[in-house]
């Protein structure tokens, strides 16, 4: 995204219209976390209860229909996935520990 807070009026898009749909991906929200989810694959039954609940699309599901490691670039540490998991396959730990 070339446009930033130092852009001049000549550089901005007219009317504030954004031409790159979905470019919010460039804005990383991972630094919002104070708690971090940790995935414990051995306990995970791939039941599918965690990834739809994530507000930030931070649990990827591959073509093999299995969830993978958290996307820590976006995870805000809300803990919904950990609570939703019936198998205790997600633990919340303090960020940085």
Partner 1 sequence: MSIRERLSGNEATAYAMKQINPDVVAAFPITPSTEIPQYFSTYVANGQVDTEFVAVESEHSAMSACIGAQAAGARAMTATSANGLEYMWEMVQIASSSRLPIVMGLVNRAISGPLNIHCDHTDAMSVRDAGWIMLFSENNQEAYDNMLMAHRIAEHKDVMLPLMVCQDGFITSHAIEAIQLEEDEKVKQFVGEYHPEHYLLDRENPIAVGPMDLQPYLTEHKKQQAVAMANAKQVILDVAKEFEDMTGRHYEFFERYCMDDAEFVIVCMNSTAGTVKTVVDELREQGIKAGLLKIRVFRPFPGEEIADALRNAKAVAVLDKVPLVSNVGGPLYEDITSSMFNRGVHVNTINYTYGVGGRDVTADQIKSVYHDLQYTTDMSVPYRFLGLKEGK
Partner 2 sequence: MYNVKEIVANKPSRFTAGHRMCAGCGAPALARMILRAVKPEDHVVVSNATGCMEVSTCIYPYTAWSDSYIHTAFECASATASGVEAAYKSMKKQGKLPADKDTKFIVFGGDGGTYDIGIQSLSGAMERGHNLTYVCYDNGAYMNTGIQRSSATPRFADTTTSPAGNVIPGKMQSRKDLTEIMVQHHIPYVCQTAAIGVFQDLYEKAEKAIYTDGPAFINALAPCPRGWGYATEDLMEINKLAVETCYWPLYEVVNGVYHVNYKPANKVPVSEWLKKQKRFKHMFKPGNEWMIEEFQKEVDKRWNDLLLKEEMTNKPEQA
Binding site for partner 1 (CB under 8 A): 4-9, 12, 14-19, 21
Interatomic CA distance for residues 8 and 78, integer angstroms: 37
List the single partner that 91 binds among partner 2, partner 1, none, CB under 5 to 8 Å by kind: none
Smallest gap from residue 36 Cβ to partner 2 (A): 12
State the number of CA atoms in the 13 A half-sphere of 96 facing the CB: 4
- Residue 40: which of partner 1, partner 2, none does it interact with, CB under 5 to 8 A by kind? none
Cα separation, 28 vs 35, whole angstroms: 16
Indicate which of partner 2, partner 1, none lies near residue 77 (CB less than 5 to 8 Å, by partner kind).
Answer: partner 2
Residues 90 and 76: their CA atoms lie apart, in Å, by 15
Kindly state the smallest distance separating residue 24's Cβ from partner 2, in Å: 4
Going 35 to 39 to 40 to 45, the CA torsion angle's sign is positive
Asked whether position 48 contacts partner 2 by CB under 8 A, the answer is: yes
Nearest distance in Å: CB 42, partner 2: 19
């Amino acid at each position: 995204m070339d446009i930033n807070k130092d852009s001049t009026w000549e550089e901005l898009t007219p009317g504030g219209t954004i031409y790159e749909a979905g470019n919010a991906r460039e804005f990383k929200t991972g630094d919002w976390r104070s708690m971090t989810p940790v995935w414990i694959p051995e306990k995970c039954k791939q039941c599918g209860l965690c990834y739809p609940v994530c507000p930030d699309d931070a649990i990827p599901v591959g073509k093999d229909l299995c969830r993978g490691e958290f996307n820590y670039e976006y995870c805000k540490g809300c803990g919904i996935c950990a609570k939703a998991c019936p198998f205790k396959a997600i633990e919340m730990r303090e960020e940085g520990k």
